[in-house]
Amino acid sequence: MPRPTGRVLTLLELLQSGGTRTVAELADRLDVDGRTVRRYVDHLIDLDVPVESVRGRYGGYRLAPGYRLPPLMFSDEEALAVLLGLVAGRRAGLTAAERTASETASAKIRRVLPRHVAARLDALLDSLAFTDRPAGSAAPDGGVLLTIADGVRHHRPVSIRYTDGQGRRSERTLHAYGIVAHADRWYVTGRDAGSGEDRTFRLDRIADARTLPGSFEAPVGPAPAERVVSGFATAAYRHEVTLRFHATVEEIRAHLPASVASLEEEHESTTQGGRTTAERWVRAELRAERLDWLPPVLAAIGRPFVIERPDELRDLVVALADRLASYARQS
């Protein structure tokens, strides 16, 4: 649970968002009772924050008109870190806000940076290389992202309008467990209230999101990132592939990440000349729409392997081996 000081600061943030907030609303957002809300308000008043009490049917608390907090101050290193994060996020395609908002935020920080700090930043950016943003990759709408994040934090159902990869549109009620950035895309994982199944949705395909009344219990189990990654590895695709490697898990994971394949260690005993030795194998299972990318990966792993299925993959590996052998024989 957050400490009282953290809740007081959260209360100040809620009041700064504007308007009058009722005691019941503040108590719900802070997860405390009404008496505690009033005590937190007294703390703010003791700190010379002008909190006004509004009476009546729609009464509650608000900040005095015109009140603004003192300007936020950064050290040189802090300003450098914030600005670098904005630039790197935008170039990598991970900035969720609109491009204009990211650029204006960067410009505001740059204007107040001391000249020597700005020079350090320029030198750093010149030395960095960013990969191109993948074709078709899109950042989610900022409003959608914030709405779903609020649903995750306060365990509130969220209504979304979603368009899947085939262009089919649907409206769903989602019990969102978490938001995950993976492979230059943003995802939300949670339970689809309509089907009762755990699902993962791309945030850039959600056109609209709004929180609904009520609440839900977050499940006990894998973290949201683990749910998303394991979901990719077990998703339904055209080909089901099973391989066995005479290698370590680490050697295989360097080429087949958890989002691509699930791995399971196996121990196999062999007897030769009256001696029994234990050999360690790793079974890999994955699903793929195409198989042509797998033979080069198997060659890159560089360890003995057995193809259990499908036979089509075995044919592709043999064809690759023949091509490499023919290239090697050329003078």
Q: How far apart are CA 259 and CA 249, in angstroms?
A: 14
> 314 and 287: one domain?
yes
Identify the sign of the CA torsion 33, 38, 39, 43: positive
Domain final position from 192, 220, 248: 220
Whether residue 231 lies inside any domain: the answer is no
Whether residue 96 lies inside any domain: the answer is yes
Whether residue 200 lies inside any domain: the answer is yes
The torsion angles phi and psi of 79, rounded to 5 degrees, stand at: -65, -40
Does the structure show a pLDDT above 60 at 1? no
> 52 and 90: one domain?
no
Q: Give the model's pLDDT for residue 131.
A: 43
The verdict on pTM exceeding 0.75 is no
CATH of the domain at 181: 2.30.30.520
Residue identified by tokens 């839900």 is 216
Whether residue 225 lies inside any domain: the answer is no
Output the DSSP codes for 105-145: HHHHHHHHS-HHHHHHHHHHHHT---PPPPTT--PPPHHHH
For the chain, what is the largest distance between any 2 Cα atoms, rounded to a whole number of angstroms? 93
Q: Give the model's pLDDT for residue 134.
A: 46
CATH of the domain at 31: 1.10.10.10
Domain hosting 30: range is 4-63
> 246 and 316: one domain?
yes
> 154 and 187: one domain?
yes
> Domains in the chain: how many in total?
4
250-300 pLDDT, tens digit each:
999 999 988 788 899 987 766 666 676 667 899 999 888 789 999 999 999
Q: Give the model's pLDDT for residue 89.
A: 65
> 24 and 56: one domain?
yes
Ranges 27-41, 133-147, 307-321: which has the least confidence: 133-147
Closest CA to 121 of 184, 74, 153: 74
> 191 and 270: one domain?
no
Closest CA to 188 of 171, 175, 169, 197: 175
